[in-house]
Amino acid sequence: MKPNEIQSHREKQDELLADSQKTLAAAECYGREPTVTETDAIKANSLEFNRLTALIDAQESVVDQEAMLSRSLGRLTEPDDIPLADSTYRPRAHAGPRPRARGIGDSSERKVFAHFADVLRGSRPMAAMSVGSDPDGGYLVPTTVDRRIADQLIDLSPMRRHADVVRSETSDYRRIVNVRGTGSGWAGELSTRTETDAPDLKEVHPPHGELFARPMMTNWLLMDNGFNVESFIDQNVSTEFALREGEAFISGDGINQPRGILTHQTATTDDDTRAFGTIQHKAAASSTALDEDEIIDLLYLLRPSYRAGSGTTWFMNSTTAAAVRKLKDDNGQFLWVNGLQPGQPAMLLGHAVAEMEAMDDIAAGKFPIAIANWPRAYVVVDIGSTTMIRDEITKKGWTSFYFAKRVGGALLDSNAIKLLKMA
């Protein structure tokens, strides 16, 4: 199988996933469960998806081994997996499976990174990075480098793995959300059809800002033959981006940054009466202890159509996860189930768990646990491409690099997410 064939399979998987999501969205729009025909179509898509995944994984294993033998660069990582309807698993990315982060294997990519290393050292002009870049705003980094940063962000950021991630060339990205669906009714053959309510549509305009990292190193280290540009990017750019993004997606105030889920108003009222943009929470009885019944209740605050989606995942930080792992049901069985195979996520009440360190700790008035169908609940917007400015003047003997990219994020459907609020 050639690389272009692998890409073709991925594109086919994207189509299958989009088709299934469209079917589920149509059923939700009319407030009903999928029909037998629709369910059969989704199952058929799932089987074909799994077949394509097996083909891709087999070839990628060979590619990874060849890359490791040819040159030991970067790192191999396995993405978190999520369950499909038929109890199998696939790599998680909302727009379909993503390539796993890997070493730079083929000669064309190695050449790009070698040239970029020369740019960082100053032995190649900044203008060599791309055509049409703006010197005042920074030069665009090569597409291959930008893609590596994006892949690493997916590895490091739970929100990017689970939410809807889109790319926009402008900051004016907007999304229309159908809040209530189209009205409907019953009628006989000759009955008069009365006018039904129009769908309640809301516009979401994700706030955004410039996410930046400014690593600095001595010129001696930079000129050293052992300088590894891939490791430099992973450790100084991708990791910093992921840390700041994760904080903003959870608690960002929406001013020159994404707006986080925990900055929205919450209420205990149900989906039919709660205002758009207000998140429903389950009130805990204690301010310091978790209760297994409250977590079960929290899950079932989500409508069946949201729970059935493949993107439904728990978010909590490591401290909360440690407490949840100890909870048992009335029969003495743990609610938490570890992944059966390496790379598979832990499961809580049938849904995957993702550790998001930016989530609240267990404390009075805090929100330590979220359960959501993330592709429908939150959108991450990447605006344009990553840019870089090289500065060897400000501090003699040192060179700093200002990497920047614009990122937005916003709550989409407030009915698709539920929070546990401590007393």
Contacting residues for 354 by C-beta, under 8 A, at least 6 apart: 80, 158, 161, 162, 313, 314, 315, 345
Domain contains 63: no
Half-sphere exposure of 114 (CA within 13 A, CB side): 8
What is the pLDDT tens value at each position of the chain, 423 positions in all? 456 777 788 788 778 877 777 777 777 666 677 787 877 788 787 778 778 877 877 776 666 555 544 443 333 333 344 444 444 444 443 334 444 444 444 455 555 555 555 555 555 544 433 433 444 444 455 565 656 666 666 666 789 889 999 988 887 888 877 765 555 667 676 776 666 555 567 788 899 999 888 877 787 777 765 666 656 666 667 777 888 888 999 999 999 999 999 999 999 999 989 999 999 999 999 999 999 999 999 999 999 989 987 789 999 999 999 999 999 988 889 999 987 777 788 999 999 999 999 999 999 999 999 999 999 999 999 888 777 777 878 888 888 878 888 999 999 999 999 999 999
> Which residue is listed with tokens 């993405």?
79
Domain contains 380: yes
> What CATH number does residue 292 fall under?
3.30.2400.10
> Which residue is listed with tokens 């009075």?
364
Strand pairing category for 351-355 and 369-373: unpaired
> Which residue is listed with tokens 């009955």?
191
CA 4 to chain CA mean position, Å: 25
Assess contact for 285 and 333: CB atoms under 8 A: no
Domain contains 208: yes
Task: Enumerate helices (H) and strands (E) in the chain, giving the number of each.
Answer: 12, 18
Domain contains 189: no
Number of domains in the chain: 1
68 phi and psi, to 5 degrees? -65, -35
Assess contact for 399 and 390: CB atoms under 8 A: yes
Q: What domain range is 316 assigned to? A: 77-180+194-423
- Residue 109: per-residue pLDDT: 53
Domain contains 98: yes
- Residue 401: per-residue pLDDT: 79
- Residue 119: per-residue pLDDT: 52
Q: Side chain identity at 29, as an amino acid letter?
A: C
Strand pairing category for 279-283 and 417-421: parallel
Domain contains 222: yes
Domain contains 15: no
